[in-house]
Amino acid sequence: MSHLTTCLVFFLLAFVTYTYASGVFEVHNNCPYTVWAAATPVGGGRRLERGQSWWFWAPPGTKMARIWGRTNCNFDGAGRGWCQTGDCGGVLECKGWGKPPNTLAEYALNQFSNLDFWDISVIDGFNIPMSFGPTNPGPGKCHPIQCVANINGECPGSLRVPGGCNNPCTTFGGQQYCCTQGPCGPTDLSRFFKQRCPDAYSYPQDDPTSTFTCQSWTTDYKVMFCPYGSTHNETTNFPLEIPTNTLEVHNNCPYTVWAAAVPVGGGRRLERGQSWWFWAPPGTKMARIWGRTNCNFDGAGRGWCQTGDCGGVLDCKGWGKPPNTLAEYALNQFGNLDFWDISVIDGFNIPMSFGPTKPGPGKCHPIQCTANINGECPGSLRVPGGCNNPCTTFGGQQYCCNHGPCGPTELSRFFKQRCPDAYSYPQDDPTSTFTCQSWTTDYKIMFCPYGSTHNETTNFPLEMPTSTLEVA
């Protein structure tokens, strides 16, 4: 028994020693926005909300390794999608390096003289403030470093890109900036980075001041995005880190809504109080966001919704089946304007508000459609889950406006009288199109903006019908 106890104690000590024997990396997001962390050749990728951490272990001998943050990403349930900065081939789990600009934490473990080598690099540009270093500092250059200057806000015009400050090699190419053929030195553009982040690599041969070392097996490491949170110079990095055209979809209804968005976004289940953010690139047009009700999806995202169904999938690729209240938008169109509206042309299922988070002059202000449309819906348009539209119900030019000019009908007036800011028929443009100057604001869609008060309470009987059967 004593022998077994001794062996067990030895095993546990060996296990603890081995698991602590450096190579454990914590990646922590302290930014006031979502960061999709990435790490290669070990790690892969992980979505991190503010305050979340991700740990992984890198074996001794790991080299040419990178950790970085990606911003303004949109991935489907299978981990396929796109990021505005740091994208690694359109996947959540990175296998290769990220696309500039991206602030890099680089490392090589247990190299010659039993040293770990590590650094922060802005050779690929800058997108997110970062700190990086040992959790157990040691002598010499074994201490944490950071790069948190206002690089995005002060970025030279020639390097400015959506989401960050690009690097001169990617932007201009050539030996002067890329250092691909023999010795090279700093340039005016590399000095821009170096002056703001003196501990970081600013060009490929910037070794003397930028390489840090720790004795192997003596420490773990921590990477932190936005180490100062929303203070310090990081606040002035936001305009490029979080460009406009971020859309927040929030469910304030006292029931589950399955939000949908095309051509970007896909779909997301939202319980009451939950939000979903995604980024739509400039030039996006014919875009729609809507809510689906009374859905049932399996683990693979296949199923059905009573209203707004988009082909039986959670991640929508096409438009929803009426009735569904719509938020529509087109970004960065002629005159550098965003065009957006609420539409009940496809009918109504959920009360909705939609508009800019930063209102501007003219018709750049939030609007809503929250009247008791489901409760007062004409009998001819009533369907389970909502109030259908006359085109789907009756067809014909009078209601569908497929062939030339058309005007309002008694049925379209039913919707218009209750939601005067919303599109009620296809040519209802003069009173229903809203605009904001491009790049000046983000947008927010809210289902049931008044919660369970206002006229929304009387919408419930059609929004949440009974007789839904789920077969396990």
For position 1, what pLDDT does the model report? 42
74 vs 278: CA distance, rounded Å: 6
For position 8, what pLDDT does the model report? 38
- Is the predicted pLDDT of residue 7 greater than 70, yes or no? no
- Give the CATH architecture of domain 246-463: Sandwich (2.60)
| Beta strand pairing call for 221-225 and 24-29 | parallel
Which of 251, 378, 270 shows the shortest CA–CA distance to 314? 270
Indicate where the chain has its CATH 2.60.110.10 domain(s).
16-241, 246-463
The C-alpha torsion from 210 through 213 and 219 to 225, rounded to 10°, is: 10
380 token code pair: 């001819």
Mean pLDDT of 227-239: 55
- Is the predicted pLDDT of residue 9 greater than 60, yes or no? no
Q: What angle do CA 18, 20, 23 make, to 5 degrees?
A: 95
382 vs 461: CA distance, rounded Å: 12
Count of Cβ atoms closer than 10 Å to residue 457 Cβ = 15
- Is the predicted pLDDT of residue 425 greater than 70, yes or no? yes
- Is the predicted pLDDT of residue 15 greater than 70, yes or no? no
245 token code pair: 């055209």
- Is the predicted pLDDT of residue 234 greater than 60, yes or no? no
Is the Cβ–Cβ distance between 297 and 303 less than 8 Å? yes
Q: Kindly report the average pLDDT of the chain as a whole number.
A: 86
For position 452, what pLDDT does the model report? 65
Q: What is the pTM of this model?
A: 0.54
Superfamily of domain 16-241: Thaumatin (2.60.110.10)
Count of Cβ atoms closer than 10 Å to residue 300 Cβ = 10
DSSP state of 123: T
DSSP state of 238: H
**pLDDT interval class at 281 (50, 70, 90):** confident
Beta-carbon contacts of residue 137 (< 8 Å; ≥ 6 apart):
143, 144, 214, 219
Dihedral pair phi/psi, residue 463, rounded to 5°: -75, -35
**pLDDT interval class at 277 (50, 70, 90):** confident
Is the Cβ–Cβ distance between 211 and 117 less than 8 Å? yes
Give pLDDT tens digits for 327-365: 999 998 888 899 999 999 999 999 999 999 999 999 999
Give pLDDT tens digits for 432-453: 999 999 888 889 999 999 986 4
- Is the predicted pLDDT of residue 159 greater than 70, yes or no? yes
Give the sign of the dihedral formed by CA 195, CA 199, CA 205, CA 208: positive
125-139, 173-187, 235-249, 426-440, range with greatest mean pLDDT: 125-139
Dihedral pair phi/psi, residue 363, rounded to 5°: -95, 40
Mean pLDDT of 264-272: 92
For position 405, what pLDDT does the model report? 87
For position 14, what pLDDT does the model report? 38
DSSP symbols for 336-359: GEEEEEEE-TT-BSS-EEEEESS-
**pLDDT interval class at 16 (50, 70, 90):** very low
14 vs 303: CA distance, rounded Å: 50
Give pLDDT tens digits for 72-118: 998 888 888 889 999 999 999 999 999 999 999 999 999 988 999 99
Distances, alpha carbon 17 to alpha carbons 62, 101, 212, in Å: 19, 38, 24
N residues, the chain: 472
404 vs 402: CA distance, rounded Å: 6
For position 4, what pLDDT does the model report? 38
| Beta strand pairing call for 246-251 and 443-447 | parallel
217 token code pair: 């097996």
- The larger pLDDT score, comparing residue 205 to residue 22, is at 205
207 vs 210: CA distance, rounded Å: 5
- Give Cα 34 to chain centroid, integer Å: 6
For position 343, what pLDDT does the model report? 96
Beta-carbon contacts of residue 136 (< 8 Å; ≥ 6 apart):
218, 219, 220
Mean pLDDT of 404-432: 91
- Is the predicted pLDDT of residue 472 greater than 60, yes or no? no
Widest CA span of the chain, in angstroms? 94
Percent of the residues in the chain that have a pLDDT greater than 70, as a whole number:
88
Residue 400's DSSP bridge partners are: none
